[in-house]
Copies of this chain bind each other. A is one copy, B any other.
């Protein structure tokens, strides 16, 4: 019994993870309205009705997907705080967010779709967690400006630019792929993208570009 209980829990967690992974892909490709429980079930490899055992409703499943993405997304901000200055901080944040765009393109799309549709399930997070996070980072940037370590730019719009640019490589990945002769960016392509972005933005805020990590 003591060996069975953990094994079943592991089994449940494993299934939930597989469902969430499938749901993320389907929601990203079809949107909330276009996604069907049938498609998610097929991709997760279990009967449709089984989904309703793990997640009572389509909306509950969707909510879980969006919340998971939001957590991963926020965690990328850690590099900002541990930075010693604007060059390292902004460069590390660009690198971190670009790697997230590459690793979780579906998640980024679900997030974008959720916000574009008026954030019906995540509005409270925007008003609390995200608002606080944004205020905190704006203060950090403003301090760097006040200390003369970077040009006096508008911290809020700098953050928007960082979000927009990095997430673009996930959300508009299909367009980028098409303009890259139909092939997704390879290692060199991603490295060059990160380099180009850091060059323009870091130069744009008046700091030296730190050496490659």
Count of this chain's copies in the oligomeric assembly: 2
CB contact list, A197-213 vs B, under 8 A: 197, 199-206
Q: Interface size of A by Cβ–Cβ distance < 8 Å?
A: 56
**Is there a chain B Cβ closer than 8 Å to A196's Cβ?**
yes
Q: Is the CB of A174 within 8 A of B35?
A: no
CB contact list, A97-149 vs B, under 8 A: 109, 112-113, 115-119, 123, 126-127, 130-131, 134
Residues from chain B with a CB closer than 8 A to the CB of A154 are 192, 195-196, 199
Select the stretch in A10-18, A74-82, A159-167 that faces chain B: A159-167
Residues from chain B with a CB closer than 8 A to the CB of A29 are 117-118
Q: How far is the CA of A206 from the CA of B110 in the complex (A)?
A: 36
Q: Is the CB of A119 within 8 A of B33?
A: no
CB contact between A179 and one of B33, B123, B131, B205 (< 8 Å): that residue: B131
Q: Is the CB of A178 within 8 A of B123?
A: yes
29 contacts between A and B (CB under 8 A): A28-B116, A29-B117, A31-B32, A31-B113, A31-B117, A32-B33, A33-B35, A112-B112, A112-B116, A112-B172, A115-B175, A119-B175, A126-B175, A130-B179, A131-B178, A151-B199, A154-B195, A157-B200, A158-B196, A158-B200, A160-B172, A163-B172, A164-B164, A165-B165, A200-B200, A200-B205, A202-B204, A203-B204, A204-B204
